[in-house]
Amino acid sequence: MDNKIFKALDFVLKKNKMNISDLNSINPYLLNRWISMCDPAIANILNVTSNRWIRRKTNLDIIKFYNCVLPKYTKHIKYIKKKTNSKNTEEDLTSNSTRMELSSREISEYDELIDFLTKNSN
């Protein structure tokens, strides 16, 4: 699919010109997901309008509809990433030690060893 999804995003949100034949191969679910990450107001518009009829229309109809209905958006879209907590808390150590039948000290040493190996593997 190359960069077609991002070109379609530019067509819908930034109102750039695009070859209409390229739009037919875009998956509307992926386009809907990326568009919903740019602004809560736009996500609300998508929820109210397109989620009800996204399966009934062709890809080209949906993308043209998005282009007409959604407001122009020129900011950069930031992908939402999962936040992880890398520090083990005392509760995690005790629950892991009872589950694995190891001491808390052994589990913390294993965690340090894994961190060391992953950092030095490159």
55/32 Cα distance (integer angstroms): 12
pLDDT of residue 110: 86
pLDDT of residue 105: 87
- What count of Cα atoms within 13 Å lies in the side-chain half-sphere of residue 71? 11
pLDDT at 47: 82
pLDDT tens, position by position, 68-119: 888 777 777 666 666 666 565 777 778 888 888 888 888 888 888 888 888 8
Token pair belonging to 60: 């080209």
pTM score of the predicted model: 0.54
11-31 average pLDDT score:
80
Q: Give the other-Cβ count within 10 Å of 83's Cβ.
A: 5
Nearest by Cα to 14 from 74, 78, 76, 75: 74
